[in-house]
A and B are shown apart, each in its own frame.
Chain A
Amino acid sequence: MTAYLIRRILATIPLALGVVLVVTISFDLIPGDPAALMLGEFATPEAVAELRTSLGLDASLPVRYVNYVIDITQGDLGLSLRERRPVTDILVETFPYTFQLAFAAITLVLLVGLPLGLLAASRPGSWIDNVIRVTSLAGLSMPVFWTGIVFMVIFSVNLRWLPVSGTGTWRHLILPAVTLALPSIAVIARMTRSTVLEVLQEDFVRTARAKGVANRSLLYKHTLRNALIPVVTVLGLQLGQMLGGAVLTETVFAWPGVGRLTVFAIFNRDFVLMQGLVLVLAMLYVFVNLLVDLSYGLIDPRVRYQ
């Protein structure tokens, strides 16, 4: 187990180096001089040149890449071009908001998506199964930013039950969390339904049924645990996407997390902030996937890590 863990963590290092390389190259392509951006439009060419040198921007791409990697290992993600503060500080301030939103959403996904999938699987072909299948497909098909706006129109503008946007109380969290959770609820309901139906076809379930185990106990005790591994895999992917993919939800509801920060960084051409954001988000995504792999052993004791 420990050996497996160490190997898995070591395996993320080349991936991280690759991510940094992709990020460095793609931001090299963006037109515009970060030093000129930092100093504003009235800067003298000499001052810009001086800043370029001190920021290390004159160096060649490989040198800048190596320098960036060294800085990262020391926890230094550089200075934001617009806010002139360490990127690390900005990330530490904004990440809690995104975590809050993502965990509220993933809780909703577990509480709603999983039971819906089970319900559909317990009566395949029935009207309730069809309703769940069609609505979950519809839920998958709606663009997140649009559902957010529709919720806003219904619950904030017309009914005046919930605040339009911003943060502060738990009531601010409801609409963004539901909006973010909706497509994932649909994914998990579909996934749970199909894996449970698959497990129900297996021999050990037939044996249990022949031995007279009640339907309810068959579904919850014998089947659910065996169906959980693919469901957890997808759940982890969804959480990873939420951490980096809350861009749309946060933009619609003016939620001050990393998603909105990403949009801010792009439109202000704050490359340094963008680099840091992309790096941290991609690594977080990889980390969540590692946690998912480790959870297999908890769900299914037969799983061995080698």
Chain B
Amino acid sequence: MTVDATTTTRSTRNDVWRRFRRNHLGVVGALIVMVLVIAAIFAPLLAPKDPAEQDLRARRTAPNAEYVLGADEFGRDILSRLIYGARASLTVAVSSVAIGLLLGSLLGSLAGYVGGWLDGLIMRLMDLFLAFPYLLLAIIIVSALGAGTFNTILAIAVWTIPAFARVARSAVLQIKERDFVTAALSLGAKEARIMGVHLLPNFAATLVVYASLYLAYAILMESALSFLGLGVQPPTASWAGMIASGRNYVTSAPHIATIPGIAIALAVLGFNLLGDGLRDALDPRSGKR
């Protein structure tokens, strides 16, 4: 019995991996994400210069041998700031999606499992969040709590909660009535155990796909807030912050504002491709479309 169960899981896992590898775009996405993570973790080792070091002679120089991607208006090395910027963007995106996923799936599965008035209350609250255009909600939260990295994480997390709550709720509603849950209940399993052991693994796949796509949105949202001056604050190097300050030099030194945008677009594209690839691999039917 036990042997059988493990072999089936292993073979499906292999299937998913095989299907994912065949999807070239998904692999490209995974590679981009890997490069980003490496850049974020090993930023001090990879950056050719100190991201805060100002070389006044190099102010606004175009890309050259010493400054591969040029220097900004203070003469700071743009490549080094981009590498450190990966750290800021990924920190905000990963923490906010992690908080959103945790709280959202908790609230959603609670709503779906308990049902009744609690379900109504939680889901109406989620509807209220969705009544705001998304950037506006984040702007309200950040302006109420104050600009900065931590509050940006909170604002984006709040915005992701409804999506994860809905996924979790519908998954719980689908699974709740299945025989193996009834069986576990009749064997005397505690409700919390049922939620953790039996329900979670069943919607984990959907959650992984959502998490990857929401990481892409979270990076865009962080960059929007940082561009407006509400997100990650200078002197911390952030991609959108670099664009915002480089905006004043679009005529004399357009590379300052334009190069960091490529980093944002690539990062978002990476998570989008990864999410699409994972969805196709986990749900073979959607891949054929």
A-side residues, CB < 8 A to B, are 15, 18-19, 22-23, 26-27, 29-31, 124, 134, 137-138, 140-147, 149-150, 152-153, 157, 194, 197-198, 240-241, 243-245, 247-248, 251-252, 262-263, 266-267, 274, 278, 281-282, 285-286
Given the contacts A142-B265, A153-B258, A281 and B133 also touching, CB distance less than 8 Å: yes
Q: Measured between C-beta atoms, what is the minimum distance from A171 to chain B in Å?
A: 19
Q: Measured between C-beta atoms, what is the minimum distance from A282 to chain B in Å?
A: 5
Bound complex: CA of A245 vs CA of B265, how far in Å?
Answer: 19
Q: Is the interface of A mostly helix, strand, loop or mixed?
A: helix
Residue contact B140 to A18, C-beta cutoff 8 Å: no
Q: Measured between C-beta atoms, what is the minimum distance from A156 to chain B in Å?
A: 9
- Please indicate the chain B residues that have their CB under 8 angstroms from the CB of A27 in the complex: 144
Report how many A-B pairs have Cβ atoms within 8 Å: 133
Contact of A149 among B25, B229, B258, B273 (CB under 8 A): B258
6 sample A-B contacts, Cβ–Cβ < 8 Å, listed by A number? A140-B272, A142-B268, A149-B258, A245-B134, A245-B136, A266-B230
Q: Is the interface of B mostly helix, strand, loop or mixed?
A: helix
Q: Which residue of B lies closest to A283 (CB)?
A: B131
Q: Measured between C-beta atoms, what is the minimum distance from A95 to chain B in Å?
A: 14
Residue contact A263 to B228, C-beta cutoff 8 Å: yes
Residue contact B273 to A145, C-beta cutoff 8 Å: no
Residue contact B139 to A157, C-beta cutoff 8 Å: no
- Please indicate the chain B residues that have their CB under 8 angstroms from the CB of A26 in the complex: 140-141, 144
Bound complex: CA of A248 vs CA of B264, how far in Å?
Answer: 15
| Residues of chain B in range 217-245 having any CB-CB distance to chain A below 8 Å | 220, 223-224, 227-230, 240, 243
Residue contact B133 to A145, C-beta cutoff 8 Å: no
B-side residues, CB < 8 A to A, are 25, 124, 127-128, 131-136, 139-141, 143-146, 216, 220, 223-224, 227-230, 240, 243, 247, 250-251, 254, 257-258, 260-261, 264-266, 268-269, 272-273, 276, 289
Residue contact B265 to A241, C-beta cutoff 8 Å: no
Q: Which residue of B lies closest to A14 (CB)?
A: B124
Residue contact B144 to A143, C-beta cutoff 8 Å: no
Contact of B250 among A144, A153, A244, A248 (CB under 8 A): A153
- Please indicate the chain A residues that have their CB under 8 angstroms from the CB of B269 in the complex: 137-138, 141
- Please indicate the chain B residues that have their CB under 8 angstroms from the CB of A140 in the complex: 268, 272
Bound complex: CA of A145 vs CA of B247, how far in Å?
Answer: 10
Bound complex: CA of A260 vs CA of B260, how far in Å?
Answer: 23
Bound complex: CA of A245 vs CA of B134, how far in Å?
Answer: 8
Bound complex: CA of A140 vs CA of B213, how far in Å?
Answer: 12
